[in-house]
Amino acid sequence: MYINELYDKLPLLSAETYTYISRDGDCHTESEPVLTEHILDVYLNDRLTMKLVCIPQYLTELVLGRLLTEGILEDASDVEQIYICEHGLRARVILRGNKGENETLQATVADSHPQAGRVALDGGASREPFTELTPSCCTGNHILNDYFLTGKPVKPVTPISWKAEQVFDLADRFHAGMPLHGQTWATHSCFLAKDGQLLFQCEDIGRHNALDKAIGYALRHGIPLSRCMVYSSGRIPTDMAMKAIQAGIPILASKASPTAEAIALAKEYGLTLVCAARRDRMKLFAGTKPEV
């Protein structure tokens, strides 16, 4: 996989002025750093396929993770090259073997989404079936083009042994704080660990993006996700649980709570789901118990 990243140190924060008003009548002007929103257009084999609202940091990891968790990739070997422009506004991904460029896949999409709308992606020259999905974080992420989806069945994850202390260590790391969240209180974070060792940490506007970045980091660096644990700062509905399952991650932990549907999904696919994971306690909702 060849990666060509031209962007570097794009602004993550903006200094904004506001009027501070207290209940006791104090009213004065202050300023503070505010998180900026960034829109990344993702092209697969020159087709506009996704629009991601994010912060402009770890963009390659975000793209790789999102492609895997949407079922477009099976592993990093499916990607021939990734290019991200100097402004971080456009990602161009070339898949090996012209994945998606065949009649069988087009028929699969048409059969799977007979009521799907149609959208012009090249100024009106061609029209393709598309689906537009918004994840539960509601940050404006959209999947515009389902041309590359194959309808392959989701595989159960393979459980691994783990220790409660490994989750507590990640909860400790989360409690220590993250740079952008400390300044803005406006980000979610995700931590990637393997065999009790923290490998990567990241922040983004939405918890889905943060999880995708952690997954993408593993893909980029050849880390086996089947041996990893991730810890998220956000709640776990079905789409977050499915991201971990699609990636083959056996243990998903979170500071926040799950939904009943996410718990059922975890049980169905063998995902170990640990929520309300704080520094002193956790709740195991599905999967294998920790080693004593």
CATH 3.30.465.10 fits 38-143, yes or no: no
Per-residue pLDDT of the chain (292 residues; tens, 9 = 90+): 999 999 999 999 999 999 999 999 999 999 999 999 999 999 999 999 999 999 999 999 999 999 999 999 999 999 999 999 999 999 999 999 865 554 334 433 333 333 333 333 333 334 444 445 545 455 567 777 777 777 788 999 999 999 999 999 999 999 999 999 999 999 999 999 999 999 999 999 999 999 999 999 999 999 999 999 999 999 999 999 999 999 999 999 999 999 999 999 999 999 999 999 999 999 999 999 999 8
Q: What's the pLDDT score for residue 100?
A: 52
The domains of the chain are located at 38-143, 164-286
Q: What's the pLDDT score for residue 261?
A: 97
Q: What strands lie across the sheet with 47-54, from one edge to the other?
A: 2-5, 79-84, 90-95, 38-44, 47-54, 142-143
* 254 backbone dihedrals φ, ψ, rounded to 5°: -150, 150
* Protein fold of 164-286: Cytidine Deaminase; domain 2 (3.40.140)
Residue 120: other Cβ atoms inside 10 A: 12
Q: What's the pLDDT score for residue 149?
A: 73
